[in-house]
Structure 1
Amino acid sequence: MDPLFLGAIVAIATIVVLFSGVSVATGLLIVSAGFLIVFDGMSSLSLLPEIFFGKLDNFALLSIPMFIIMGAAIASTRAGADLYEALDRWLTRVPGGLVVSNLGACALFAAMSGSSPATCAAIGKMGIPEMRKRGYPDGVAAGSIAAGGTLGILIPPSVTMIVYGIATETSIGRLFLAGVIPGLLLVALFMAWSVYSTWRKRGLEVLAGRSFTWRERFEIMPRVLPFLLIILGVLYAMYGGVATPSETAAVGALLCLLIAMIIYRLWSFSSLWVVLRDSTRESVMILFIIGAAGVFSYMLSSLFITQSIAEWIGTLDVNRWVLMLAINVFLLIAGFFLPPVAVILMAAPILLPIVTTAGFDPYWFAVVLTINMEIGLISPPVGLNLYVINGIAPDIKLKTILWGSMPFVLCMVLAIILLCLMPGLATWLPNAVMGPAV
C-alpha cells in the first residue's frame, strides 16, 4: 500500500479514535498497536513496552513534574489575588488601568504557574467582577482573562516548551529564551486592544479606580516579590550555567512550596497533599502522552509514513511561505480539538525536518507553533479557557465570552505575522545570551 495513502488512513483512524472519548494517550496506543498488528504482525507488539519506556528515559523529563509542582504550589495560595491587587494599586489611576493590570497579572501568574486554566481561575475570580463593577464591557472583562491565561505556555518557564524540546531534541534553554520577547509582544498587543476597546465603548475617564497611598502600594509587595525572585533565579541558574533545567526546576519547586508554607500558611497536611496529588496526576498524564506519542511515532516511521510525507513535501514546488501557511492552518485546526502537549508530540517530530529543510529556524518555529496552540485554548469547540471563565462568571453567556476572546485571537494571528516579518523577535535573545545555534 502506498505510504501516503496509508498515512491518510492512519490520520482518519486517529481522529475517529480520539473523538470516541478515550484519553489522548490511550487513543494513540490503540491506533499504533492496531496498525502494527495489521502490517507487521503480532510480533511487533513485543517492542512497544521498550519504546514506550525508552521515550521516558530522559533526564530532562524530570523538569516537567518539578515545574508542575512549582505552579501548583503557587496556584493553591492567594498569590494570584495578591498579584492582581498589587498591580491594581500601582495602575489604578492609569486610564483603563484595571484591564491592563489584569493582563499583567495573568502574564506574571501564567509564568509562575505554567497553567492556563489555573491562571484564568486565580485572576478571573477577582478581576472579572471588579472590571464589570467599574463598567468594563463583559466581553472585554471575560475575553481579556481568557486570553491572558494562555500566556503561560509561551512565557518561560513553560512546560509546553520543555515538551517541544524533548520531542525535537532542541535546547530547552534556547526555547525558553525564544519565548520571552514574543510573550511580551503578545502582552502588549492584548493590553493595547483592551484599552482601545474599552475607550471605544465606554470612555476611559469613567474607569479609573480609587487612589492608593504609596504606603498601600508598597505594603503588598512583600507577598509578590518572593515568587518573582524565584522565577528570575530559575532563569538565571539555567542561563548562567549554574544548573540544568531539571535541577533548577527542582529547586524552584522546593522554594515555591516553602514560600507557600511560610507566607500563606499552607501548613496543613491536607493542603500539601492536594498540591502533590494534583501535580502527580497532571505529570503522569503528560508523561503518559509522551510515552504513547513515542510509540505512535515509531509506528509512523516503521510503516514509512513519516519518511514519505517528508519526501512528498520536499518535492512540492511551492514557496516556503505558502508551505508555512499550510502548516499553520494544520496546527490551528489540530489545536481546536487536542491539547497543546498532544499536538506537539504528534506533529513536531514530523514537521521539524520539513521546516528546517525549508530554511526556517527551529526555535522560531517553536514560538509560532506555541502561539497556534494558544489560539486553540480560547477557540471552540474545545476552548478550555472559555469554559473556565464561564464557570467563574456563569451569568456571562458563553457566546459573549467567545466573541470577547476573538479580538485576542486576531492579536495572536498578528503576532505570528510579525514573527514571520521579523524572525529576530524569537531568535535574537537566544543568540545574544547563548551564542548562535550550531
Structure 2
Amino acid sequence: MTDTLTPILTKFWDDPQSWTLATYERHDGYKALTKALEMEPQAIIDAVKDSSIRGRGGAGFPTGMKWSFMSPPDGGPRYLVVNADESEPGTCKDVPLMMANPHALIEGVIIASYAIGCEHAFIYLRGEVVHVYRRLLRAVEEARAAGHLGTNVGGKGVTVDITVHAGAGAYICGEETALLDSLEGRRGQPRLKPPFPGAAGLYARPTSVNNVESIASVPGIILEGSDWFKGMGTEKSTGFGIFSLSGHVTNPGQFEAPLGITMRELIELAGGMRGGRKLKFWTPGGSSTPIFTEEHLDVPLDFDSVAAAGSMLGTRALQVFDETVSVVRAVARWTDFYAHESCGKCTPCREGTWWLRQIMNRIEAGQGTQDDIDKLVDICDNILGRSFCALGDAATSPITSAVQYFREEFEAGMHTPAHELFPPEKSVLFTVQTPVQTKESSGMVSA
C-alpha cells in the first residue's frame, strides 16, 4: 500500500471548466467506452470482477459480483440505477464528483449498461442539490449530442439512454429498495427481501443499484486494466477512494487516496488539527458508523481493517472532533436526525429512535437519571438487526460506541448540562459576530 494521494477521479477538478465534455475528452474521456464497445459484455463484467472493486456506497459488496448476480436475460428490460441520493451526515464525495467531473459518471453508466444489457439507466439524485441536477442534465445532453447516448452508441448499434431523476430529499431513499419505490412514484420505504433487486427491482425487473463513485471508477478499470486498479489499495480492498475530511482540521476537503491509508496520514495531509488542539473522536464512515478515538488513528482505512477494529468504512465520511466537543451533544444531534428520517414502516426503528431521542436530549440537558445509560444501550440492542433496513442499525451505532468510549460524559448528564461542560462557542468552526445592545435603542444590531 502506498501512502501517496492518487488523483484519478479528482485529477482535473481544478480545471476552469472541468465539467464540460471538451475538458473530459482532453483527459482521455470516452476512450474507455470505445474500448468497451469492442469487448463482449461478459468480458466487461469479468474485468470489473477481476479488479475486485467493492461498492463505494458503504456496504462494500463487490461491484462485478453484483452485476453477475442479476437474473439471466429473458428478452425483457433490465435496469441500472445509480444511487446518487447522498444523505449520510458528513458524506460529501458524490456531489462534488458530479459537479466537477459528471462525464466520468456518464461514461461509467454507459459502459455498465452495455455490460448488463440495460438500455435505459437512471441516476437518482437528491432533490435539494438543484445545481448538481442541472449539471448532470447538461452532461447527458452533451453526451447524447456527441453520439455516446441514443440508439447507436459509438456507431455500434448499442442502445443506451439515461434519465436523471431528482428525489424529494428523504434519507431513507439512500436504501436501494426505498430508492426504487420512490423512482416508481411511490413513497420511499424499504422492501422486504427477497426478492432482491437483481431479480426483481425497478418495475419488478432485474436491476443493479450502484453508487456514483463505483460506476465512475469503471472507465478507469476498462481503460487501464484490472491489474492497474489492483495495484492500489490493499489485497481485499483494492483501488482508490475519495475520503471526505470535515470538522476540526486545518484544511478540510476531499482527499483521493488508496484504500488502506490511515487517519493519521489524512489528518497530516489536511494540515493537522485545528489550532493544535487534541483529537477527541472521529467517524470513519459518517454518523451511522461506530465512532473511533485517538487510539484508532493508525487503523488502515479499508473495509476489513476498520471492521476488525469495531466500526465500518462506510462512505469514508471522516468527521473530526477535537477536545472542545461534547460527545453527548454530537450524538444527540445525530439521534434527532435518525428519528426524524425514519420512514415509520417498522416498529423497532419507528418507536426505538423516538425513545432514543428523548433520553439523549434529557442527558444533554443534564436531566438524566441513574437508569438512562443502561436504558439507552438496551433500546439499541432491541433495534439492532430488527428493522427492515439499516437505518435502525445506523441510529444505534454512534450511541453504543459513544457510551463505550465516553461513559463518564453520559454519567455527567445526570447533573450537568452538556453546554456547561463543553461551551458550544469553543467548538465553532467560524468566527461569528455577536449582536450588541446600543445606547440609543433597545433593539439589537450587528457589531
TM-score scaled by length of structure 1: 0.25
Which structure carries more helix by proportion? 1
Larger Rg, first or second structure (1 or 2)? 2
Higher relative contact order (CA 8 A, sep 6+): 1
